[in-house]
Amino acid sequence: QTQGGRPSASTGWVGGGGWWVENSERRTYLNVRVKLSLFLLQLLHVYDLLTFDNPDGGAWKQGFEIRYQENEWDETPLELFLVPHSHNDPGWLKTFNSYYQDQTKHILNNMLIKLSEDHRRKMIWAEISYFSKWWNDIDEQKREMVKRLVGAGQLELVTGGWVMPDEANSHYFALLDQLMEGHQWLQKHLGVRPSSGWAVDPFGHSPSMTYLLKGAGLNNMVIQRVHYAVKKHFARQQTLEFLWRQSWDSSPRSDITCHMMPFYSYDVPHTCGPNPPITEQNVRERALLLLDQYRQKSRLFRSPVLLVPLGDDFRFTESSEWDAQFRNYQKLFDYFEQHPELHIKARFGTLSDYFEALHRRLNATGTTLPTLRGDFFTYADRDDHYWSGFFTSRPFYKRLDRALESTLRYGHEILFSLTLADMRRFRGDGRLVADFPGHEHFRRLTEARRNLALFQHHDAVTGTARDPVVVDYGTRWLLPVSTLVLQSSAHWLLLLDKSQYHHDQSKPFLQMDDVMSAQDALPQKTPLVLSDAPRSLIIFNPTEQLRTSVISVVIDSPDARVIEAETGRPMTAQISAVWAEPSRASADSFQVRTDQELIYFMSSFSLCLILPCVFSSSPSSLNFLLFLKTFYLFYFEIQKLRLQSGLVRQVQVQFLWYGTRSGVNRDKSGAYLFLPGEEGAQLYSSSEPPLIRVSRGPVFSDITSCFRHFTHTLRLLHLDGHAGRSLEISNMVDIRSEVNRELAMRLVSNVANGNRFYSDLNGFQMQQRRTLEKLPLQANFYPMTSASFLQDSSSRLSLLSAQSQAVASLRPGELVLDRRLQQDDNRGLGQGVTDNKLTASLYHLLLEDRRGGAQVTASVEHLSLLAHLTSLSLCHPPITMVAPSDSQLPKLRPFRPLRSSLPCDVHLLNLRTLEDAQEAESPSQEVALLLHRKGFDCSSAPEPMPQCTWSSARQQQPRITRLRPMEISAYRVEID
């Protein structure tokens, strides 16, 4: 507008329906609410916009000054929900049981009393692991009190997972499994299903978790640990509440309403408002002071409905704290109610209360929340303190976690479910055979599920718990994830004559090939003693497709041959040394490897026999060379990968050291943080030449380099088809002699990927990453659960991993292998990371052509079909069992429950026996069938083509379901 040709006022949009009007005297804020059009946020684009300069924001250090007008809420009062909570870590500074005895049970006991005293009091609880343990300790009268509180809406169970899981390192199998364990417990004991998620302490957030929550029936969620600069940007734009959508989904099917807490932490000082101090005044002064904080916080959101958490770690342990919080806040709420001129309605609430009011207000005003795609890694809570260290901390246990997931899925869940069904079919009356310990095995299985679920906690798989707590996690694993369920199930399924079945726990019919003697020891192969009688091997294929794999066992003689039991066909075998020391081969143990085509599906058993040779082999049949390399940096030499198409890419493998910052008063790397020294990465060097071992043979060829801190092996498998297309890389790392150092492996290639690369999120989906020079080195490391790749217009180089760790593309790609750090990084742990073990890591490196003018910088990408199959084989290696050596071995038969392979892009995630609704801790006749159809990149077609299909368009068979790409579906079924 103009007056006399001169501008009289200017206007500006402040977001969320607010405009400012400025004249020469003052700026006036008008609370104009308008309908906002839908818009899409890409977190990749947000990172491009942010400067990450971190200026001092005043009272709100990481934010900005917030202003408002007193009359903004005159027409629509502020509606406030104060949500009491107590965050209980299932292990961190204390073990799970110690926390429960010292704190958690007192919190829950007091909750029962204090909520019952006043119907206006409310609380939320997230960790079902603790809640179920407490439930087992209370009597029936108290259980009925709990049910009344839940039914009245005073107590809400949020998320419903066994734990509040880490979202960076955990695989989606484990994330889903712990969620199912918690939800099934809630359904059985309380008859409820959570509707809202609560993830206030995981160190960054993944859309994979939101997909699982939405699939489990949740519609809303709260998150907290997001980079402070991202929070500030979202607060300015009033986009702290949004619809979180999967990057690969163009529809709103996967959308979930997400509330991001705006401030530093989820504790009391950082939840009421941006200016923490609240002085002890009379009730009016305290009420007005809090009201000011609430009003300031509400200006960061698009609706006048405000969520204010009230709690912290292990709060409300003492009865006096319950009284102080509830009584004092109720006085403030009563004061607000007695003074309607303040235009605020405040009360205790739950997440359901808050989100119900939020959606009601948004619908009434026609306000639409923005849609967001992307993830919230890597997290920083202040300055340049990026939490990229925990992506790798305690890699021994990260590797063990994945191995035990595979054992639980196949050896316990799937085989057990198939065994129960087969027994019921055999008997014909729906019952199990009398000798089979079905109830005991189901209890073991339940314990194994829950202990694996416990390790997904955000201070467990992350490697951020104290040393005794880590030992407790490992010990819990070792006992219930025993092989008894697997051995008993395999025994039944393999027997040709079922009447010969007899269960003897002290003398299992089948023995495991790999044995783990302690929770901190690597699995070791048990040597087979050969005699005149052949030794029978039973090989399990845990995947749902036909595959060719190399099977390795240790024997006591270099003179052996392998035949296929069913046909008597001799099999190609390669005998190699077992190394007692880097330069000394064992005299009484030898490794025999054979390539075996494994029939589709998890429980197809291939049988082969190992017999002594009828002739004497010469020592050269071991077929290895041993020498010292005088050129110390042997493994730095440029190597070439060449495809049959003619595509050639150079690949260089290097090893690096990272140190940490120096200086007395400077923050240093610890369990959570990665704060490298100013010198950056330093190439690994050795004062002594490495010992080099070279093996060649019909099954594999490899080169092993032995250094002081690691043993590095490159192996090429001579297998037909797609199984032989990748290069196997393995490391055995030992940095226990080091002080404040981190060992990394770098892959240098001439793939022209620019500053972009892709890493996976939880093994479920791929996420584009950008290496940004405006960010410090540690900010450019991201979590890699199972895969990462670089690509240009003609090629893709994928690295598939058997364990989670940190990954970066700092020109070349880097992986952090292990970390040994002497100090705490001031995030509460109170110790460094010094309990390092001898740690194994395993990868497959895959080079592929890209065809058809494939995009280089697409924001949504998938692994290729070949990479999916390779990753599946890497994460689920064949399981080998050994039959007795005596001649009285009963006749065995392969067990093949499927007529054909599942399609290449369909993964049988689990076949999980459900608990009997009538008989506690007993298996029912129903199982949960979980199927995942994977999305894959079409620009790389595997050659030769695999023997599975990925399109059902030509198949005219009846179908019971249809899966979209990327979709996970769950079914309650009975196996006939």
Residue 1 counted as domain residue: no
Does the structure show a pLDDT above 80 at 271? no
Provide the pLDDT for residue 647. 85
**Domain check: are 518 and 505 in the same one?**
no
Q: What is the mean pLDDT of residues 17-39?
A: 37
Q: What is the mean pLDDT of residues 245-264?
A: 95
Residue 197 counted as domain residue: yes
| Domain final residue pick, 821, 853, 885 | 853
Angle at 500 between CA 495 and CA 502, to 5 degrees: 100
Q: pLDDT class for 708, splitting at 50, 70, 90?
A: very high
Provide the pLDDT for residue 853. 54
Least confidently predicted of 37-51, 712-726, 819-833: 37-51
| Domain final residue pick, 468, 483, 509 | 509
Q: What is the mean pLDDT of residues 211-227?
A: 98
Does the structure show a pLDDT above 90 at 859? no
**Domain check: are 352 and 399 in the same one?**
no
Provide the pLDDT for residue 667. 93
Provide the pLDDT for residue 258. 98
Other CB atoms within a 10 A radius of the CB of residue 6 amount to 6
Residue with tokens 């200017």: 10
Q: pLDDT class for 273, splitting at 50, 70, 90?
A: low
Q: How far apart are CA 164 and CA 179, in angstroms?
A: 9
Model pLDDT for residues 927-938, shown as the tens digit of each residue: 999 999 999 998
Q: What is the mean pLDDT of residues 79-108?
A: 98
Catalytic residue among 177, 201, 760, 849: 201
**Domain check: are 358 and 475 in the same one?**
no
* DSSP class of 410: I
Residue 193 counted as domain residue: yes
Q: Where are the alpha helices (DSSP H) in 366-407?
A: 395-406
Provide the pLDDT for residue 230. 96
Residue with tokens 């079902």: 128
Q: Where are the alpha helices (DSSP H) in 152-195?
A: 172-189
CATH of the domain at 123: 3.20.110.10
Q: What is the mean pLDDT of residues 104-126?
A: 98
Does the structure show a pLDDT above 90 at 604? no
Provide the pLDDT for residue 285. 87
Model pLDDT for residues 606-631, shown as the tens digit of each residue: 556 666 654 333 332 344 455 443 33
CB 179 within 8 A of CB 156: no
Pairing of β 380-382 and β 906-915: unpaired
Does the structure show a pLDDT above 80 at 154? yes
Does the structure show a pLDDT above 80 at 221? yes
Q: pLDDT class for 140, splitting at 50, 70, 90?
A: very high
Does the structure show a pLDDT above 80 at 953? no
Least confidently predicted of 87-91, 466-470, 724-728, 801-805: 724-728
Residue 399 counted as domain residue: yes
Model pLDDT for residues 434-468, shown as the tens digit of each residue: 989 999 999 999 999 999 999 999 999 999 999 99
Count Cβ neighbours within 10 Å for each residue of 504-521 and write b for 16 or more, e otherwise: eeeebbbebbbebeebbe
CATH of the domain at 399: 1.20.1270.50
Model pLDDT for residues 875-916, shown as the tens digit of each residue: 999 989 888 776 677 888 888 878 788 888 999 999 999 999
Provide the pLDDT for residue 687. 86
Provide the pLDDT for residue 449. 95
Provide the pLDDT for residue 633. 38
Tell me which of 640 and 388 has the higher pLDDT. 388
Tell me which of 644 and 476 has the higher pLDDT. 476
**Domain check: are 563 and 707 in the same one?**
no
**Domain check: are 591 and 670 in the same one?**
no
Model pLDDT for residues 800-826, shown as the tens digit of each residue: 999 999 999 997 789 999 999 999 999
**Domain check: are 768 and 835 in the same one?**
yes
CB 806 within 8 A of CB 818: no
Q: pLDDT class for 730, splitting at 50, 70, 90?
A: very high
Q: pLDDT class for 5, splitting at 50, 70, 90?
A: very low
Residue 293 counted as domain residue: yes
**Domain check: are 103 and 250 in the same one?**
yes
CB-based contacts of 719, cutoff 8 Å, min separation 6: 548, 549, 550, 595
Does the structure show a pLDDT above 80 at 122? yes
Give the range with max mean pLDDT: 370-374, 661-665, 684-688.
Answer: 370-374
Tell me which of 605 and 362 has the higher pLDDT. 362
pLDDT over 90, % of the chain: 67
**Domain check: are 439 and 532 in the same one?**
no
Pairing of β 371-373 and β 40-42: parallel
**Domain check: are 246 and 348 in the same one?**
yes
Closest of 553, 492, 518, 523 to residue 407, by C-alpha? 523
Closest of 480, 363, 494, 334 to residue 418, by C-alpha? 494
pLDDT over 70, % of the chain: 88
Give the tokens for residue 85: 């909570």
Tell me which of 600 and 724 has the higher pLDDT. 724
* DSSP class of 102: I
Does the structure show a pLDDT above 80 at 56? yes
Does the structure show a pLDDT above 80 at 653? yes
Structural domains in the chain (count): 5
Least confidently predicted of 558-562, 765-769, 841-845: 558-562
CATH of the domain at 836: 2.70.98.30
Least confidently predicted of 72-76, 398-402, 972-976: 972-976
Mean pLDDT, the chain, integer: 87
Q: pLDDT class for 596, splitting at 50, 70, 90?
A: confident
Least confidently predicted of 629-638, 729-738, 747-756, 789-798: 629-638
Provide the pLDDT for residue 32. 36
CATH of the domain at 548: 2.60.40.1180
Q: pLDDT class for 9, splitting at 50, 70, 90?
A: very low
Least confidently predicted of 228-242, 591-605, 891-905: 591-605
Provide the pLDDT for residue 617. 34
Q: Is 334 a catalytic residue?
A: no
Q: The pTM is what?
A: 0.92
**Domain check: are 670 and 580 in the same one?**
no
Model pLDDT for residues 172-190, shown as the tens digit of each residue: 999 999 999 999 999 999 9
Q: pLDDT class for 35, splitting at 50, 70, 90?
A: very low
Q: What is the mean pLDDT of residues 137-155?
A: 98
Q: How far apart are CA 66 and CA 667, in angstroms?
A: 31
Residue 43 counted as domain residue: no
For residue 847, the cross-strand partners are: 797
Residue 554 counted as domain residue: yes
Residue 501 counted as domain residue: yes
**Domain check: are 688 and 835 in the same one?**
yes
Query: Is the sign of the CA dihedral 540, 541, 543, 549 positive or negative?
Result: positive
Provide the pLDDT for residue 599. 66
**Domain check: are 368 and 438 in the same one?**
no
| Domain final residue pick, 379, 406, 440 | 379
Q: What is the mean pLDDT of residues 484-507?
A: 90
Q: List the end-to-end C-alpha distance of the chain, in Å, as a whole number.
A: 78
Does the structure show a pLDDT above 90 at 854? no
Q: How far apart are CA 750 and CA 739, in angstroms?
A: 34
Provide the pLDDT for residue 430. 86
Q: What is the mean pLDDT of residues 430-434?
A: 91
What residue numbers bound the domain in which 427 lies? 395-509
Least confidently predicted of 36-40, 302-306, 437-441: 36-40
Tell me which of 302 and 3 has the higher pLDDT. 302
Does the structure show a pLDDT above 50 at 692? yes
Provide the pLDDT for residue 927. 96
Least confidently predicted of 368-377, 615-624, 650-659, 835-844: 615-624
Q: What is the mean pLDDT of residues 484-496?
A: 91
CB 385 within 8 A of CB 670: no
Model pLDDT for residues 896-907, shown as the tens digit of each residue: 878 788 888 999
Torsion, Cα 939 940 942 947, to 10 degrees, reads -40
CB 799 within 8 A of CB 787: yes
Q: How far apart are CA 452 and CA 403, in angstroms?
A: 11
